[in-house]
Structure 1
Amino acid sequence: MSQNEHDIYEEHVLDHYEDPYHRGALDHATHADEGNNPLCGDVIHIDLKMDADGTIKEAWFEGDGCVISQASASMLIEKIEGKTLDQVKAFSADEMLELFGPKLTPNRQKCCLLSWRVLQSAVHSPVDDGDDSSPDFGGPSLSEES
């Protein structure tokens, strides 16, 4: 393992991977979305419970993928709870990479930013309460060209 690869697996990253914050489904979510990184197979689903004022009361995630995608999702979910919609919208991709910590190559940045991209769309994706008349296609594609 090179020094760079070793840096990616800093203790706080492994802590979030091995003991993630709010991993699982959220009953009665008000907003949700899912996305994937087709290049490496990472998948993230985010459930949010937002109040009428647009404050995130609870946030949970589920997913599969590499250490970076799963640990960064855990870090993001922990960070955004209690934040307002405006604060979430203002939280930039650069801030997400900073939150993660270790410097990443451009391809690994996509792993880290997957949960951030899903969150940015989830806040605009209210959960339909049992009305199955509309097709569920997971919203717009989050895949990026490289």
Structure 2
Amino acid sequence: GCSISQASASMLASLVEEDGGEEGLPREDATRLIEGFREALRSRGKIPLDEETYADAAALSGVSKFSARVKCAMLAWVALEDALARA
């Protein structure tokens, strides 16, 4: 679980940096990424993550088949969502 969480956080950070440019990733785009990631991980493998949108994080699609690990993969994404809500 910890390695999944760390990998997911690293992939999220890369996505935010790559897509955000100097201004940072717009809040709406970040929210869309988080919602899509959550939907895919809750789908139990029915909804794959698009590699063009999610880059390396698309590799985490397989985690959706293991409900005990979905929380691990979602941790950083939920933290970003919470930070955006508080900002």
Same fold by TM (over 0.5)?
yes
Match for residue 101 of structure 1 among 48, 52, 59: 59
Equivalent residues of 1:72, 1:100 under 8 A apart: no
Quote the offset at 1:121 in angstroms. Answer: 0.7
Asked which structure has the greater CA Rg, the reply is 1
Match of 2:82 in 1: 121
Quote the offset at 1:95 in angstroms. Answer: 5.5
Larger RCO (CA under 8 A, 6+ residues apart)? 2
Q: How many residues align?
A: 62
Equivalent residues of 1:100, 1:112 under 8 A apart: no
The structure with the largest helix share of the pair is 2
Q: TM-score, normalised by structure 1?
A: 0.38
Q: Matched residues, percent identical?
A: 32
Q: TM-score, normalised by structure 2?
A: 0.60
For the structure 1 residues 100 and 112, does the alpha-carbon distance in structure 2 shift closer, same or farther, using more than 3 Å as the test? Answer: farther
Match for residue 86 of structure 1 among 28, 45, 53: 28
Q: Which runs of 4+ in 1 moved over 6 A?
A: none
Structure 2: runs of 5 or more not aligned: 42-47, 50-56
